[in-house]
Amino acid sequence: MSELLQIQRPLPPSLHAMKTSCVNCSMHQLCLPMGLDDSDMNRLDQIIGRRRRVARGESLYRMDDPFRNLYAIRLGHFKTYQFNAGGEQQITGFQMAGELMGMDAISTDKHHCDVAALEDSEVCEIPFQRLEELFGMIPMLLRHFHRIMSQEITREQNAMLLLGNMRAEQRFAAFLINLSSRYAARGYSSTSFQLRMSREDIGNYLGLTIESISRLVSKFRKLGWLGVDKREIQLLDPVRIKALAAGTETCPMA
Amino acid sequence: MSELLQIQRPLPPSLHAMKTSCVNCSMHQLCLPMGLDDSDMNRLDQIIGRRRRVARGESLYRMDDPFRNLYAIRLGHFKTYQFNAGGEQQITGFQMAGELMGMDAISTDKHHCDVAALEDSEVCEIPFQRLEELFGMIPMLLRHFHRIMSQEITREQNAMLLLGNMRAEQRFAAFLINLSSRYAARGYSSTSFQLRMSREDIGNYLGLTIESISRLVSKFRKLGWLGVDKREIQLLDPVRIKALAAGTETCPMA
DNA sequence: CGCTTATTTGAACTTTTTCAAGTCTGGTGG
DNA sequence: CCACCAGACTTGAAAAAGTTCAAATAAGCG
């Protein structure tokens, strides 16, 4: 919560002037334009409202905001979270470059969650109405859109599996492996990366307390599975962590 | 698990001969054809492969089966569940008439979960490829399809909220209220219905053990909130249960 | 530097699970 | 019709896993 209240620093304007288009974007083989030829990609480009910056801790949209746009992440990281009537928060996901946000709003024309930037980030605003018009003209785009929505469903089913029947160690291992493979898909190291979220956020996402996360970090470090320096993480024994995440191996006790 | 192994009784053939079409289906205002006029509804009807019966305990499709069809439930109830590499099961949802299954398979062309009938049931088989062809011709159908997928995402986010930060009583209350409102939407009683799934299934879905579910049932019964006769349920104090589910009120201790 | 926030760690406490018996029900065969 | 069996469900007591509470560090930011 407190992250949201902090002072928001604007980004330098130089970034904004930078040529931004799907064709030039390093994410275009992961993002919505995946598989489109240059001409179709340009058509998609043309409907994109603007590239919008979101400073760390700033909110991109909030629950119940009217739904007009999907957002593709160009740069940075976000978290999506919900509140229940009692005011308790649940983080439903962490998003990174190339991922699409806002699809949960299509059914009711209202956003169902809040989205906040975990670091200074940049998104492409995609007016959904105009995207729908393109669907009729670019079948490939429609198919890919369906794949992305389907992927989102799968992603959340995996989260249910995690929350529903994994023990703490397994959840944390699954969390690390998930990040690892997503960084790998983006061409980054799969064994060495920075956590963009706080321990509290991790705990919230995994259905555990911040103290439990802290203990898990220590435990994995002591086992020699993990190198930890603040939020800088190294998977020293990815095979072991993967096996733990998959449930084919259990965690040695303290 | 054991439910899957029982003897499967075929349905009487008379049912099969019955005229089945979207226009005549009582679910058409909840299901895929929602909002279509008769002519478009007929076009949808024409692509529907067949109405298929699934006996209680029988499986409609399994994880890793090739994806060809979506399935709309005409009649009955289903559960969808996943396994992790370690072989542990997690039920990701219970589906009832008018709901669409299989959307998680679009992204990889393989089903991501198993689906089993909780009672003798009947589904409409919707060849996805042909459905995609229709999307180009019936924009309304496409829009509604997007809404349904979006709803599925929302549904799962709610499940994450449930699994991630509710205590046992709240989970169970939320589960009951969820069923209640879905029956209400179908014109059935919102306070009196039959559980189609075993206590074990409920526990698995809610991330609790069967014993915990049993204790919760007893507790709610003793509090006078619930009338229970085997799987027959009556919500005697829906307001209280709703408040508990929403997190605006807590459960009195035993 | 001084303050606020993030993280770690220990110990007591809760919640839920696990283990171990029962009970109840429907179906089967005598 | 009734005894018997298998599966589903209930209940109690002990154990385990995490949480909560409390306190100490450490880090980031003006």
Residue B198: the pLDDT is: 96
CATH architecture of B2-163: Sandwich (2.60)
CA pseudo-torsion sign B48, B52, B58, B64:
negative
Which of B114, B154, B242 would best serve as a mutation to test chain A binding (most A beta carbons within 10 A)?
B154
Nearest to B111 by CA among B130, B99, B123, B128: B128
Q: Do domains A2-162 and A167-246 have the same CATH topology?
A: no
3-state secondary structure of A47: helix
Which positions 170-229 on chain A have a beta carbon less than 7 angstroms from any atom of strand C? Answer: 198-200, 210-211, 213-215, 217-218, 228
Instruction: Please give, rounded to a whole number of angstroms, the shortest distance from the CA of B83 to a CA of chain A.
Output: 8
Model confidence band, residue A86 (pLDDT cutoffs 50, 70, 90): confident
Mean pLDDT for chain A overall: 90
Assess whether pLDDT exceeds 80 at residue B103.
yes
Residue B19: the pLDDT is: 56
Residue A188: the pLDDT is: 95
pLDDT in tens, A210-228: 999 999 999 999 999 999 9
Nearest nucleotide by C1' position to the A228 CA atom: C7
Question: What residues does each domain of chain B span?
Answer: 2-163, 167-246
Total Cβ atoms within 10 A of residue A84: 19
Residue B84: the pLDDT is: 84
**Contact in structure between B45 and B22 (CB atoms under 8 Å):** yes
Residue B254: the pLDDT is: 55
* CATH topology (fold) of A167-246: Arc Repressor Mutant, subunit A (1.10.10)
Q: Average pLDDT in the B222-234 region?
A: 93
Which residues on chain A are in Cβ contact (under 8 Å) with B154? 104, 107-108, 112
Which positions 143-202 on chain B have a beta carbon less than 7 angstroms from any atom of strand D? Answer: 198-200
Nearest to A164 by CA among B79, B116, B156: B156
Residue A125: the pLDDT is: 95
* Nearest residue in B to A202, CA atom: B164
Class of domain A2-162 as given by CATH: mainly beta
Total Cβ atoms within 10 A of residue A111: 22
H helical segments located in chain B: 13-17, 38-47, 128-137, 139-165, 168-185, 199-206, 210-222, 238-246
